[in-house]
Amino acid sequence: MDTNSMASQSIRSNDKLRKSVINSRAKDIIKSPYNKVDIKGINLQPKIKKKSIEGFPPQKEIETFLKQLTSKKLSKLNKLINGTVDKNTLKKAMNQVFHPPPDEKLTDLLFQRFRPLKFKDEGREIDENGNEMVVLDLLIALALLSRVISKYNDKLRIIFNFCDEDGDHCMRPDEILLMIQRLQRIFCRECSQINLNSQLLLQSIADKKAETKFHYIIQVIRRKNDPNKMDDGDELITYSEFYEACKSKPNFYKEILPRTLNIEDVLLCKKTEEEYNISDLSYDDFVLFRYEMNTIFKKTHFRGKSDENLMAFGTSPLSRVGGMLIRDLPQNEKKKQLELYRPPGIVRKVQHLPGKDVETQFNQNIWNCIPQNKIYIRDPTKKKDGEEEKQQQVIQDNLSKEERKEEEKREEKKKNLKINVMMRQTQDIDDFYDLYDTDFPIEYNEMANGSQEDIADKENERDVKELIKKSEKRYKEVKNLFNNNS
């Protein structure tokens, strides 16, 4: 056989083997969807040629840069720059630390990839801080992408040291929460198992995962340590305590850090948010949907006080900032602290359609509702249909016995007065009703209809008797008139 034919047969056999592996695993997934199938080795997506993309650095530059990502150089870079920096200061620091310095295209892509993405209330991206980036996000990403730092424990330790601002090898619970949130957010688009184009929604899902992991770690540390220690607002957690809490549950230790990724795929990923044009007619439904989704993803914020497993705002010692409860902080600082736990802001503005002026029901549908464990609960000031009648029945039931007796006496007096009036009517009452609408006075008209409220309220019986006499005289006149006409 020729070498070409042997090569073609080997390629065909490999293709058959590849297809059989994929098909068998797909069948296993269909039969038992709860089985965990490892398909990391199979890449069904077509590979993108990086050379054809404009502005992408060559492969050699990327390989030389990855070889220099050691713990010493990353810690040196952490000492040079802190907080937020612009692109020029980042390039200067990278050129000082790494030898040979990285390509300018690579630093530009790193800056654009790890630039913070902020949005307005309408969902559009804010370009005010477009010239700055957070150094801590870049350091965590480089530690995760490093091939030299191969051990999982070493990566976790160096990230713990980066997030420790004081450098005392201890962190408060709020700092640990921020660290886990950064770890979940940094590659949320690449590691997402759901095909979503919304960066806000991906970040909210990442925050939810981070909070559940944080609560589990704190609960484990509480069980192992003295529970009285948790009452202190300035408590500190060492790396050994954090490491043992992560190792206490199987497979939880490996889920703290995101999975290993290729730096080329990370650089090609772009953080964007799609813009949607929503009319006034469907705006209310859209806002309610966003509110419900944010409530579902942020159950820790809208939770009941009876749940002890989750973090209570203003009541739990974990909700302290500098030894002070969140509820005792000023309004400006309180908003900043609660932004860590709140969902992304809902859309609150809309452009009206031309020729239409439709008032949205946003304030009535949402701000009149109190968020609790359920999505909405009606505001207690807003009464439901039929509640007024129930309240009146309750008020009547709560009346004292003396008031009831007085009301019964008044009703009997009204009935007796009505009986006296009806007794003075003759058998010609049917003929009388045909004429009284025009000829009778108002006083007798009220008595004939049986509405005696105005008369019964009068305490003087003489006025009532005179009124009855007048009505009798008038009735006789009408009766005579009726007889003459007939």
Q: At residue 50, does pLDDT exceed 50? A: no
Q: Which of 195-209, 227-241, 424-438: highest mean pLDDT?
A: 195-209
Residue 261 pLDDT: 75
Q: At residue 27, does pLDDT exceed 50? A: no
User: For residue range 277-331, what is the model confidence (pLDDT) as tens digits?
Assistant: 666 666 666 666 666 666 555 544 433 344 333 333 334 444 444 555 555 667 6
Residue 208 pLDDT: 81
Q: Which of 57-66, 155-164, 402-411 has the lowest average pLDDT?
A: 402-411
Is 118 or 116 the better-scoring residue by pLDDT? Answer: 116
Q: What is the distance between the alpha carbons of residues 321 and 283, in angstroms, rounded to a whole number?
A: 38
Residue 292 pLDDT: 63
Residue 233: band (very low, low, confident or very high) from pLDDT cuts 50, 70, 90: very low
Residue 439 pLDDT: 40
Residue 61: band (very low, low, confident or very high) from pLDDT cuts 50, 70, 90: confident
One-letter amino acid identity for 436?
Answer: Y
Cβ-count burial of 256 within 10 angstroms (0-12 exposed, 13-18 middle, 19+ buried)?
buried
Q: What is the distance between the alpha carbons of residues 136 and 160, in angstroms, rounded to a whole number?
A: 11
User: For residue range 361-419, what is the model confidence (pLDDT) as tens digits?
Assistant: 333 333 333 333 333 344 455 555 556 666 666 666 666 666 777 878 877 776 666 55
CA distances to 93, 427, 467 from 456, in Å: 96, 26, 12
Q: At residue 247, does pLDDT exceed 70? A: yes
Residue 237 pLDDT: 86
User: For residue range 465-484, what is the model confidence (pLDDT) as tens digits?
Assistant: 676 677 677 667 766 766 66
Q: What is the distance between the alpha carbons of residues 86 and 101, in angstroms, rounded to a whole number?
A: 18
Is 156 or 7 the better-scoring residue by pLDDT? Answer: 156
pTM: 0.49
Residue 276 pLDDT: 60
* Backbone angle region of 36, left / alpha / beta, with phi > 0 → left and psi within -120 to 50 → alpha: beta
- Interval 132-157 mean pLDDT: 86
Residue 460 pLDDT: 53
Is 180 or 327 the better-scoring residue by pLDDT? Answer: 180
Residue 484 pLDDT: 65
Residue 282 pLDDT: 66
Structure tokens at 93: 């620091």
The 3-class SS string of 3-36 reads HHHHHHHHHHHHHHHHHHHHHHHHHHHHHCCCCC
Residue 467 pLDDT: 66
Q: At residue 124, does pLDDT exceed 80? A: no
Q: How many CB atoms lie within 10 A of CB 321?
A: 16
Q: What is the distance between the alpha carbons of residues 282 and 411, in angstroms, rounded to a whole number?
A: 56
CA distances to 34, 101, 194, 292 from 27, in Å: 13, 49, 21, 36
User: For residue range 431-444, what is the model confidence (pLDDT) as tens digits?
Assistant: 444 444 434 443 44
Q: How many CB atoms lie within 10 A of CB 234?
A: 8
Residue 386 pLDDT: 56
Asked if 369 and 378 count as a contact pair (C-beta separation under 8 A), the reply is yes
Q: At residue 108, does pLDDT exceed 50? A: yes
- Interval 421-449 mean pLDDT: 43
Q: At residue 356, does pLDDT exceed 50? A: no
Residue 452 pLDDT: 45
